[in-house]
């Protein structure tokens, strides 16, 4: 069965520092992978997605993620974090039926000044 693991429950990063959020997946075939951000009072917003092709994916708000099949990983990165990036981040994989998303437990990002 497909699953997504986000090993880090909570991460604190200084403003202006770089960020990497980890995501590992379990999936038999080529996965469709997503990163979402959830802010209080707002719906989940798609940051980026990977379906195929270039394994380095660029997203919105300066985020990028790299798909590494050998490591079953899809880590999210940002070179310089802003205070407004503080939020909950979810990695997800599309299920085999291609109908719904399976989410990791999320990583809470705090940004210190």
Partner 1 sequence: GAVVSQHPSWVICKSGTSVKIECRSLDFQATTMFWYRQFPKQSLMLMATSNEGSKATYEQGVEKDKFLINHASLTLSTLTVTSAHPEDSSFYICSARDPNADEQFFGPGTRLTVL
Binding site for partner 1 (CB under 8 A): 4, 9, 36, 41-46, 49, 90, 99-106, 108
In whole angstroms, how close is the CB of 10 to partner 1 at the nearest point?
A: 9
- Give the nearer residue to partner 1 in terms of CB position, either 2 or 73: 2
- Give the nearer residue to partner 1 in terms of CB position, either 31 or 106: 106
The answer to whether the CB of 76 falls within 8 A of the CB of 18 is: no
Q: State how far the Cα of 82 lies from the Cα of 78, in Å rounded to an integer.
A: 10
Nearest CA to 105 out of 92, 94, 86 is that of 92
* SS3 (DSSP) at 98: coil
- Give the nearer residue to partner 1 in terms of CB position, either 8 or 15: 8
């Amino acid at each position: 069965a497909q699953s997504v693991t986000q090993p880090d429950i909570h991460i604190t990063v200084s403003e202006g520092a770089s960020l990497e959020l980890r995501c590992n997946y379990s999936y038999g075939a080529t996965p469709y992978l997503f990163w979402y951000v959830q802010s209080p009072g707002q719906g989940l917003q798609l940051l980026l997605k990977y379906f195929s092709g270039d394994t380095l994916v660029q997203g919105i708000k300066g985020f990028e993620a790299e798909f590494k099949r050998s490591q079953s990983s899809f880590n999210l990165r940002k070179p310089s974090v802003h205070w407004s990036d503080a939020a909950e981040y979810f990695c997800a994989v599309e299920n085999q039926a291609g109908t719904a998303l399976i989410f990791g437990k999320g990583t809470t990002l705090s940004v210190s000044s």
